[in-house]
């Protein structure tokens, strides 16, 4: 009976990927998004991406989220994701120089009936005072052709602006925003503790993956958020490294999960979603292939066993030597102005994501005086403070050349 159930799960998985593979052909051959959606609708046996409730809000969101692409050039991908149930879309006023939000506005211009079915989250990335935040929100609403967003976030890395609580309550009262929160690429310690203490935060967007879930303190932070009713969106679920090193452990894990019927990347998504306190995994779904793989991982019946999770524990021990976990200890040693975690993240985009334009664009936004001295600074204090032994000086020197 057990083997029969496993075979049934595998057939479901293959059917899903096969259907989406057909969709991939349709997109590449020029089939319109409306026709594509119609073809999807004909097969009622295809399951939509499941939903989970976002914290204490009572609002359901898809467990997979679109990250902030240039949606002005990816309309068919957005439409296909919608038809498959990927109805949480995350963006920002700064993503793709505004083209991410503009593309969403273009989509709603074509499909206004879909707005009520989509959960939109956006952010004021650089705004730090009430006037700037208000202007950023109004601009986002205009770009996306909507009179409200479901979730509005500020960057915790910029700190909590004075009057943030009152401002967010004002946005809610005006109907411009339903939920509010913070996003951060740094470690979760300060983000979680401060958000719980403030008492008015609905949602946090935090880094969470198979490496971080091995840590007792991280699991406790997730539990603390759940107890406080704070919804959680996971980013960096693939735990891509700054140097794209292929470790023997990664190869072994790849082979192991392929024998189970999924890719390592799909298994990483499953690992995060195995914690039901995570409402959604947000990732850069940049192609139909990635979309179909992520959706298949979300809807098939293949569950991770304790042995599967032990494989991830072994992989995490190996990969942590190449992965900046955003703990911020390097900043404590060398100051926030050193921007070490930011540069590490840009190197991850460059090497592991293959998104070199994005990496270089973000790097060029760093202060000029920092870029000029990046390769010549002494990073011995930061390296001594790093709990994972990252060769920070070497990475900074490489960044000064590759990202310039």
Q: At 87, list the tokens.
A: 């109805």
Q: H or E segment at 316?
A: helix 306-319
Q: At 401, list the tokens.
A: 């050349």
Q: What is the pLDDT of residue 301?
A: 80
Q: H or E segment at 227?
A: helix 216-228
Whether 135 and 254 share a structural domain = yes
Q: At 85, list the tokens.
A: 């149930």
Opening angle at CA 289, ends 284 and 290, nearest 5: 25
Whether 328 and 288 share a structural domain = no
Whether 282 and 341 share a structural domain = no
Opening angle at CA 137, ends 131 and 141, nearest 5: 145
Whether 258 and 332 share a structural domain = no
Whether 307 and 339 share a structural domain = no
Q: What is the pLDDT of residue 388?
A: 87
Q: How far is CA 214 from the centre of its chain?
A: 19
What is the pTM (predicted TM-score) of this model? Answer: 0.85
Could you give the number of structural domains in the chain? 2
Check which CATH number belongs to the domain holding 175 and give it.
3.20.20.100
| Euclidean distance between CA atoms 280 and 203, whole angstroms | 11
Opening angle at CA 16, ends 205 and 80, nearest 5: 60
Nearest to 234 by CA among 278, 190, 270, 265: 278
Whether 197 and 248 share a structural domain = yes
| Euclidean distance between CA atoms 241 and 226, whole angstroms | 28
| Euclidean distance between CA atoms 317 and 251, whole angstroms | 14
Whether 121 and 200 share a structural domain = yes
Opening angle at CA 20, ends 19 and 25, nearest 5: 100
**Cβ atoms of 127 and 136 closer than 8 Å:** yes
Q: What is the pLDDT of residue 330?
A: 93
Choose the final residue of a domain: 267, 299, 316.
Answer: 316
Left, alpha or beta for 141 (phi > 0: left; psi -120 to 50: alpha)?
alpha
Q: What is the pLDDT of residue 158?
A: 65
Q: H or E segment at 120?
A: strand 119-124
Choose the final residue of a domain: 283, 316, 349.
Answer: 316
**Cβ atoms of 327 and 382 closer than 8 Å:** no
Whether 307 and 328 share a structural domain = no
Nearest to 208 by CA among 196, 191, 193: 191
Q: How far is CA 235 from the centre of its chain?
A: 3
Q: What is the pLDDT of residue 39?
A: 45
Q: What is the pLDDT of residue 24?
A: 36
Tell me, what DSSP letter sits at residue 84?
T
Whether 175 and 133 share a structural domain = yes
Choose the final residue of a domain: 294, 316, 338.
Answer: 316
Q: What share of the chain is helix, strand, coil (3-state, %, to 5)?
A: 55, 10, 30
Q: Helices H, strands E: what count in the chain?
A: 18, 10
Whether 335 and 237 share a structural domain = no
Q: What is the pLDDT of residue 105?
A: 98
Residue in this structure with the two tokens 């935040």, named with its chain if needed: 133
Opening angle at CA 275, ends 277 and 265, nearest 5: 125
Domain enclosing residue 11, as ranges: 2-316
At 181 the three-state DSSP class reads strand
Q: What is the pLDDT of residue 327?
A: 84
Nearest to 85 by CA among 379, 296, 286: 296
- Each of the 404 residues of the chain gets a pLDDT tens digit; together they read 334 343 334 444 444 444 344 333 333 333 344 444 444 444 444 579 999 999 999 999 999 999 988 999 999 999 999 999 999 999 999 998 899 999 999 999 999 999 999 999 999 988 888 999 999 999 999 999 999 999 999 987 667 888 999 999 999 999 999 999 999 877 666 788 889 999 999 999 999 999 999 989 888 999 999 999 999 999 999 998 888 888 899 999 999 999 999 999 999 999 999 999 999 999 889 999 999 999 999 998 888 999 999 999 999 999 988 888 888 899 999 998 999 999 998 999 999 888 899 899 999 999 999 999 999 999 999 999 999 899 999 999 999 999 99
| Euclidean distance between CA atoms 62 and 48, whole angstroms | 9
Whether 274 and 341 share a structural domain = no
Whether 120 and 264 share a structural domain = yes
């Amino acid at each position: 009976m057990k083997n029969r159930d496993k075979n049934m799960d595998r057939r479901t998985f293959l059917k899903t990927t096969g259907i989406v593979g057909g969709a991939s052909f349709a997109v590449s051959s020029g089939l319109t998004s409306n026709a594509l959606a119609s073809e999807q609708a004909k097969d009622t046996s295809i399951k939509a991406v499941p939903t989970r409730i976002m914290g204490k809000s009572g609002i359901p969101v898809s467990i997979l989220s679109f990250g902030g692409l240039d949606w002005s050039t990816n309309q068919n991908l957005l439409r296909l994701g919608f038809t498959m149930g990927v109805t949480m879309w995350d963006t920002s006023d700064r993503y793709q120089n505004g083209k991410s939000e503009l593309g969403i506005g273009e989509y709603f211009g074509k499909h206004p009936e879909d707005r009520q079915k989509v959960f939109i989250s956006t952010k004021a990335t650089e705004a730090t005072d009430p006037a700037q935040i208000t202007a950023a929100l109004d601009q986002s609403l205009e770009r996306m052709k909507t009179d409200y967003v479901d979730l509005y976030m500020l960057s915790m890395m910029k700190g909590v602006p004075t009057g943030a609580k009152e401002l967010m309550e004002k946005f809610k009262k005006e109907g411009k925003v339903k939920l509010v929160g913070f996003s951060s690429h740094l470690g979760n310690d300060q983000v979680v503790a401060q958000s719980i203490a403030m008492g008015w935060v609905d949602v946090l967007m935090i880094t969470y993956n198979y490496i971080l879930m091995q840590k007792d303190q991280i699991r406790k932070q997730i539990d603390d958020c759940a107890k406080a009713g704070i919804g959680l969106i996971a980013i960096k679920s693939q735990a891509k490294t700054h140097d794209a090193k292929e470790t023997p452990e990664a190869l072994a894990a790849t082979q192991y999960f392929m024998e189970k019927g999924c890719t390592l990347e799909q298994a990483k998504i499953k690992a995060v979603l195995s914690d039901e306190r995570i409402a959604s995994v947000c990732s850069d779904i940049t192609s139909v292939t990635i979309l179909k793989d992520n959706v298949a991982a979300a809807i098939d019946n293949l569950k991770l066993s304790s042995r599967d999770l032990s494989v991830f524990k072994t992989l995490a021990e190996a990969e942590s030597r190449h992965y900046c976990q955003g703990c911020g200890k390097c900043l404590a040693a060398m100051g926030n102005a050193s921007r070490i975690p930011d540069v590490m993240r840009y190197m991850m985009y460059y090497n592991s994501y293959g998104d070199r334009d994005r990496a270089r664009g973000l790097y060029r936004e760093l202060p000029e005086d920092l870029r000029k001295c990046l390769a010549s600074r002494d990073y011995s204090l930061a390296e001594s403070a790093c709990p994972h032994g990252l060769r920070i000086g070497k990475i900074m020197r490489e960044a000064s050349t590759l990202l310039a």
